[in-house]
Amino acid sequence: MQTRTSLVTGGSGAIGSAIIQLLADQGHKVINLSLDEPAEALPATTYCVDLMDREATARVLERIVAEHAIDHLVNNAGISYQTTIETLSLDRMQQMVEIHNRAALQCIQAVMPGMKARGHGRIVQIGSRMMLGRQGRLVYSMVKAGLLGMSRSLALEVAPQGVTVNMVSPGPIETPFFRQVHPPGAEQTVKLLSGIPVGRIGTAEDVANAVAFFLQASSPGRTCLSAAVAALAPRVSELARLFPSRYESMQ
């Protein structure tokens, strides 16, 4: 059985490290492209770069594709930003665009020639339910909605070459950042839980399982899909209505 090589951006964080661990457990060779070294050892080769630095990103991507044949790309790196329209910083907004959109496209552009040449590739973008809109998250919603549009358009473009592009859009996920604004037992946490059908906050492992599903070599017909994670997000029915499970398929 051929060993696949998977590149994960932002792999040193909570969700990224869970993705790396699961893929490694499944036999993948994993490359981590992240701002910092992981706090704990990961079964991956780590390349450190600031993805908001276009030139530095280009240099490290050139090195990665020269040293590894990348079969899979998981665009997971990102940052959050809460603001109102009155307090919006255009500089901060541009940083969001750089890491969520430009860096994702730059990574795709770097690995795509190899994927096309081998006639096989899997790309998974990490989105968010916030793309549907939420008060205080107008910039985050903007970049994640942009990522969805990018993914759908690219999926249609590269499907004939055997490359699939899908997006996993988590709801609330148990991470240190989430707990900073949603402490256990807090009013906002209780309210959030009341709107989640399964009655619990999602885990990084839930996201990793969804990513691994889309990376399977046995699923060439799944492309241009946007999936909510395990029905953990509120308004799952709205997600299902807006993004049907089969938007476009490779034949």
Instruction: Give catalytic residues, as residue numbers.
Output: 140
Return d(Cα 217, Cα 248) in angstroms, integer: 18
Return d(Cα 64, Cα 15) in angstroms, integer: 22
Structure tokens belonging to residue 178: 């989430």
Look-up of token digits 């009655």: 199
- Is residue 7 within a helix (H) or strand (E), and if so which, with residue range? strand 5-9
Structure tokens belonging to residue 147: 């990522």
For residue 180, give the amino acid letter.
Q
Chain-centroid distance, C-alpha 194: 26
CA distances from 243 to 125, 132, 158, 236 (A): 15, 11, 20, 10
For residue 120, give the amino acid letter.
H
